[in-house]
């Protein structure tokens, strides 16, 4: 996500990485994959969702089946689901309600906890390691509503309906992550991101009025009419979560970069923003594939929606661009939004992380990736200008809050501006310091290795740091402690 409160996100870079080095690094990791990107395991969760949307009311109903393999190494007597839209600070004053849960066909009495963002599902019999279980759910929800002149009730606007759009982020019950400490059901903070989840396979059928445009994380594989409604079927493989945007009046552009289909959907009055967005995302994907590794999905949609407190928000295969920034596509920050959110397709969508305990891990990498994009497209001079603001923001909050660090959990930060200055700006300062210390070859080799080794998993700070030290064959404890410890 790109936050509105942090325009100085990116640091100074020297154009030291030659095309030959980039190409050699890319080929080395490409052939390590056996010539193509590694696929997620077949044992990941499976979601089948049928969603019926009432755009006029900003509401929906759904039926869902979740297939879950117990790969925890433990015998489970319960499963936890997250109901993220019930966190008002981020998702607004809408709701997500679960009407019924069945486990292997048997009705189950469930309970909601943690502000109705966690659903406890007791199992009728223990689930041993290596066994599958199937949950069937009925759910309904209503989004927040954009009101003229006010955005106080919509959170970030990622679960909200306006006269022209309906944005549905994580609109369904999603499995909580099971980690070394058990089920991860942390409360959702009022700042930062909310969703930590494992990748899964999605089959989603969405029923809408036929005059509406439908954009989702997955790729469309079929559509048909049922009476006066239209049904679309989407497939998503290795998706960390699934988002849906419904809109009317969009102007679409499309392009193909390699094997990736790109689409932009902006409103007619912002047609230039659609053109710029397409050009920038093509450049970003080309650069990031050279630096980090292959793009993981078949399609990527960029769509204009109203957002509050955010300039852009990322989902697998889908990027939200704030309507307020689409009015000025010639502004360099618009380029940064595109580059930052595109980078999240590598750092978040493919390599996941714990956005509560380690929010810096994906945001710092996306920020620094955007800095690479700036250097490549507008040159060193501009990159150095923003570097001054970037480092100043971090140094200022570091002096005021010595008890915090780049790697602090999200709930330790007192406000959004402090969070942004540490996690985004400070995280990018840290990565640039590592790059200076170990050199380009080792730095980019570490990032490509981190990407390939942790693709479709949830990584942790120690994983990234280990890749840096392995790549250079050196110890970086002084730099790590300087930035990552209070």
Give the model's confidence band at 32: pLDDT under 50 very low, under 70 low, under 90 confident, else very high: very low
In CATH, which of 3.40.718.10, 3.40.50.1370, 2.40.40.20, 1.10.390.10 is domain 19-38+265-484? Answer: 1.10.390.10
What CA–CA distance (Å, rounded) separates 99 from 82? 15
In the chain, list all ranges with CATH 2.60.40: 46-198
46-198: CATH topology is: Immunoglobulin-like (2.60.40)
In this prediction, what percent of the chain has a pLDDT beyond 90? 86
310: phi > 0 → left, psi -120 to 50 → alpha, else beta; which? beta
Q: Is 353:410 a contact under the CB 8 Å cutoff?
A: no
Query: Could you write out the DSSP letters of every residue in 72-112?
Result: SSS-EEEEEEE-GGG-HHHH-S-EEEEEEEEETTEE---EE
In the chain, list all ranges with CATH 1.10.390.10: 19-38+265-484
Each residue's pLDDT tens digit, 56-100: 999 999 999 999 999 999 999 999 999 999 999 999 999 999 999
Give the model's confidence band at 4: pLDDT under 50 very low, under 70 low, under 90 confident, else very high: low
Please say if the pLDDT value at position 409 is more than 50.
yes
Residue 359 or residue 35, greater confidence = 359
Angle separating helix axes 461-472 and 440-453, nearest 10 degrees:
140
Beta strands in 240-361 (DSSP E): 243-247, 251-257, 260-266, 299-305, 312-315, 318-322
């Amino acid at each position: 996500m790109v936050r509105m409160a942090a325009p100085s996100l990116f640091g100074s870079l020297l154009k030291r990485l030659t095309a030959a080095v980039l190409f050699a690094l890319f080929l080395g990791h490409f052939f390590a994959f056996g010539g193509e990107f590694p696929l997620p395991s077949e044992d990941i969760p499976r979601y089948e969702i049928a969603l019926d949307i009432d755009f006029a009311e900003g509401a929906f109903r759904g039926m869902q089946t979740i297939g879950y393999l117990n790969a925890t190494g433990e015998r489970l007597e319960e499963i936890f689901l997250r109901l993220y839209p019930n966190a008002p600070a981020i998702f607004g004053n809408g709701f997500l309600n679960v009407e019924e849960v069945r486990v292997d066909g048997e009705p189950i009495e469930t309970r909601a906890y943690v502000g109705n963002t966690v659903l406890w599902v007791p199992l009728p019999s223990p689930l041993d390691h290596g066994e599958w279980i199937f949950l069937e759910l009925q759910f309904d929800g209503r989004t927040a509503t954009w009101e003229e002149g006010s955005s106080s009730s919509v959170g970030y606007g990622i679960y909200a309906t306006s006269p022209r759009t309906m944005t549905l982020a994580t609109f369904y019950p999603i499995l909580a992550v099971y980690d070394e400490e058990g089920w991860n059901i942390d409360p959702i903070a009022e700042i930062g991101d909310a969703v930590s989840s494992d990748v899964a396979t999605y089959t989603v059928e969405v029923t809408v009025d036929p005059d509406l445009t439908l954009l989702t994380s997955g790729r469309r594989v079929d559509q048909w009419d049922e009476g006066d409604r239209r049904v679309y079927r989407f497939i998503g493989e290795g998706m960390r979560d699934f988002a849906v945007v419904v809109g009317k009046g969009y102007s679409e552009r499309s392009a193909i970069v390699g094997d990736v289909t790109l689409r932009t959907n902006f409103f007619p009055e912002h047609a230039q923003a659609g053109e710029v967005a397409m050009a920038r995302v093509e450049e970003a994907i080309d650069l990031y594939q050279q630096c980090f590794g292959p793009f993981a999905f078949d399609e990527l949609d960029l769509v204009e929606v109203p957002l509050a407190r955010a300039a852009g928000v990322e989902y697998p295969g889908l990027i939200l661009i704030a309507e307020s920034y689409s009015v000025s596509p010639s502004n360099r920050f618009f380029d940064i939004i595109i580059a930052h959110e595109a980078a999240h397709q590598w750092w978040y969508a493919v390599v996941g992380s714990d956005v509560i305990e380690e929010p810096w891990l994906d945001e710092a990498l996306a920020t620094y990736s955007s800095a690479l994009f700036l250097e490549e497209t507008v040159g060193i001079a501009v990159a150095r200008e923003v570097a001054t603001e970037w480092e100043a923001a971090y140094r200022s909050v570091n002096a005021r809050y010595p008890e915090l660090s780049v790697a602090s959990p999200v709930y330790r930060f007192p406000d959004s501006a402090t969070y942004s200055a540490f996690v985004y700006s400070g995280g990018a300062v840290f990565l640039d310091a590592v790059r200076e210390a170990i050199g380009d070859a080792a730095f980019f080799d570490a990032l490509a290795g981190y990407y390939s080794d942790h693709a479709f998993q949830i990584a942790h700070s120690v994983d990234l740091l280990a890749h840096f030290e392995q790549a250079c064959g050196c110890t970086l404890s002084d730099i790590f402690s300087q930035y990552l410890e209070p």
